[in-house]
Structure 1
Amino acid sequence: MPLAPADPRRAWTGRHDGDGPEHARWHEVVRPAEQAPAGPGLPHVGVLGFESDEGVRRNQGRIGAADGPEALRRALAPLALHGALARGEAAIRDHGDAVTCGEDLEAGQDQAAVLITRALDAEGARLVVVLGGGHETAWASYRGLRASRRCGEDTRWGVLNLDAHFDLRREDRATSGTPFAQMAEAEAQAGRALRYGVLGIAEPSNTPALFTTARELGVTWMTDVECAEGGAPAIASFVANFAADLDVLYLTIDLDVLPAAVAPGVSAPAGLGVAAPLVATAVRAAAATGALALVDVVELCPPLDVDARTARTGARLVDEAVRGVMAR
């Protein structure tokens, strides 16, 4: 059944092939979070959106990412479910959207962080998926995670970014290019070092100053060329090593890590990019760590997409993460 027309989650619609788990699709399983029964319940995946492209605008990128959550829901809606989610032994709960109104990015991030914390702390939540939004979504994701019960003072956690860019810019105000510098500063103020890894870095898209900042912060990374040369084994090994001693893993997927032919609908299309199957390998490896608690998918720009290619690929990567976590 589709959700109420006034709800941002109205995109959960699609074909119905029949009753029973053998026909289950995302749109037939997703329910609004507020309809979930109180108290302990089924293990579930929480989904929410962040309608925002102000960070992209401030970063002089191509705007349109505020339409990302609806486009990603529409792309997820017809995908087939398997296992516990198809059998009704687990659930998918949609918490709705946070919204950046006008140029007030900071208020939008505040709202999104509260929504993310609530989703992470919900009884039975196995994984929370945030549908962005520009990469300013990551600052909200970080704050939501740090405020949740998943992260105590002694929790070993890290953020793995699938991205062509470090997004370690230092600016007078937050943009889509500053979230990991913001995280590093916040962690330093708390007496901690940020554990940050990146797969897919495009050297021509990152200045020497950004590489210097990354080295100073102890960031680990693989370039897009190294991903292509090393293939799936090198990528899986990188992810496993990065998460080896973590209690909690936060995975952020910037769709501009993909080749422009696969992901034309992004703020900054890649000149080379990392092949979609290799990006999917990284997502599956993250899910296989057993530590993955939060994933966001960012930088989808539906007005610039072609045949919903970018949205469909983003949805497939979300589905890979969900299937990997729920299969454990």
Structure 2
Amino acid sequence: MPVDMTVWQGRSDPEDGSLGLRWHEVIKPADEANEPGIMLLGFACDEGVSRNKGRTGAFDAPITIRKALANLAWHHTEPAYDGGDILCNDGNLELAQQRLGEDVCRALRQNHKVIVLGGGHEVAWGTFQGLGSYLLQKQHVLQTQHTPRGGFKSEELDIVNKVPKIGIINFDAHFDLRNPPPGSSAERGSSGTPFQQIARFCELQGWPFNYACLGLNRASNTQALYDKADKMGVLYFDDCELTHQRLPLIIESLEHFIAQCDYLYLTIDIDVFPASTAPGVSAPAARGVPQEIIEPLLNTVLSAETTAGSKKVLVADMAEYNPRFDIDTQTARLAARLAWTIARALR
């Protein structure tokens, strides 16, 4: 399906030459991708928010974030591409998540770093399906390429049999570890279930579930969810713990978490920010975490590298931006700035 590039519009400063470019002048549709770069994908969906009894409107988030991103200055060194939107406008959330996973997997196989613009936080289960499929396919390729006639050497067995250690880092006011409602199938999720679904996927694959959630609003998460997170070994910090005074300790804990992971999946629920900063979300935060606290933590995640020198973050997404309740598009500009920051750090 052709990508609609008409949304990419903004100011031009031709008198400044190549140093005066903005995103709308540089980004290309995915079918023109001839070298690795940043792949933007949209997940236009709020079916998960609706199922989770939240206020809808996140469906229009991807296009609105693109409009805000279009006019930002281009300070990047590698290309950026728009892979278009997965639309969930028929209530079939599970199919939309599957299709998003296929697009994410394809982009990763093409050696792009991926940024997904949601959508409710049900986007996370779609994003992770793509990352999981990519790593499973990568492992299969290694098995095919490293099968000698006389059997495997010990170091080859290490490569083939190594269990991928994926670190999931979620900036969020909510755990989103809910179980599906009674009487529904395990596959039927919502914006409140994605990390439970990811945990189940990891269990079925025999992979560890490494989950960190930063910025929790304790008043919006039941004790049952905290108990569940403790049993699952989740690293978490409440919003009231994320202060300037405690920041060095939080960063140290986050670095220890990252050091144990081979790959990272970064997901940002915009409702982690205060409602005064991000009014346009599905569930506004009465307190939230200030941007000046989030940024150094985000930089810690984005700067993490493997021993080979590549970035550990393979894919990132943003969720719960709701244009219907935004004020003067200030939340859209925040989301666009986050996408800009992630893209610059990864490429």
**How does the TM-score come out when normalised to structure 2?**
0.86
- Cα RMSD of the aligned pairs, angstroms, is 1.8
Listed one character per residue, the Cα deviations across residues 169-219 of structure 1 (whole Å, up to 9, x for unaligned) are 001330000000111111112222210001101110100000011011110
Q: Does 1:26 align with 2:23?
A: yes
Q: Does 1:102 align with 2:90?
A: yes
CA distance in 2, matches of 1:312, 1:238: 30
Listed one character per residue, the Cα deviations across residues 80-117 of structure 1 (whole Å, up to 9, x for unaligned) are 12152xxxxx1001111111122111111111111111
The one of 155, 170, 174 equivalent to 1:161 is 170
Q: Does 1:315 align with 2:311?
A: no
2:173 counterpart SS class: coil
Residue of structure 2 equivalent to 1:54: 47
Letter in 1 for 2:74: L
Map 1:216-295; keep pairs closer than 5 Å.
216-228=231-243, 230=245, 232-290=247-305, 291-295=312-316
Structure 1 residue ranges, 4+ long, deviating more than 3 angstroms after superposition: 6-9, 149-153, 229-232
Q: Which moved more, 1:302-311 or 1:17-26?
A: 17-26
TM-superposed CA distance for 1:8, in Å, is 4.1
CA distance in 1, matches of 2:21, 2:135: 32
Residue of structure 1 equivalent to 2:64: 71
TM-superposed CA distance for 1:231, in Å, is 5.1
CA distance in 2, matches of 1:136, 1:116: 15
Residue of structure 1 equivalent to 2:148: none
**How does the TM-score come out when normalised to structure 1?**
0.90
Q: Which moved more, 1:190-199 or 1:11-20?
A: 11-20
Residue of structure 2 equivalent to 1:14: 10
TM-superposed CA distance for 1:119, in Å, is 1.3
1:272 counterpart SS class: coil
The one of 101, 114, 124 equivalent to 1:138 is 124
In the alignment of these two chains, the number of paired residues is 311
Map 1:60-209; keep pairs closer than 5 Å.
60-84=53-77, 90-123=78-111, 125=112, 127-149=113-135, 152=139, 154-171=163-180, 172=184, 173-209=188-224
TM-superposed CA distance for 1:245, in Å, is 2.4
Unaligned runs of 5+ in 2: 140-161, 306-311
CA contact (8 A) 1:262 1:309 kept: yes
Letter in 1 for 2:68: A
Q: Which moved more, 1:291-300 or 1:152-161?
A: 152-161
Identity across aligned pairs (percent)?
Answer: 41
Unaligned runs of 5+ in 1: 85-89
Map 1:292-303; keep pairs closer than 5 Å.
292-303=313-324
2:243 counterpart SS class: helix
Q: Which moved more, 1:265-274 or 1:190-199?
A: 190-199
CA contact (8 A) 2:313 2:346 kept: yes
CA distance in 1, matches of 2:121, 2:291: 19
TM-superposed CA distance for 1:274, in Å, is 0.3
CA distance in 2, matches of 1:15, 1:211: 47
1:183 counterpart SS class: helix
TM-superposed CA distance for 1:232, in Å, is 4.2
Letter in 1 for 2:269: D
CA distance in 1, matches of 2:53, 2:301: 31
TM-superposed CA distance for 1:54, in Å, is 0.1
CA distance in 2, matches of 1:62, 1:75: 23
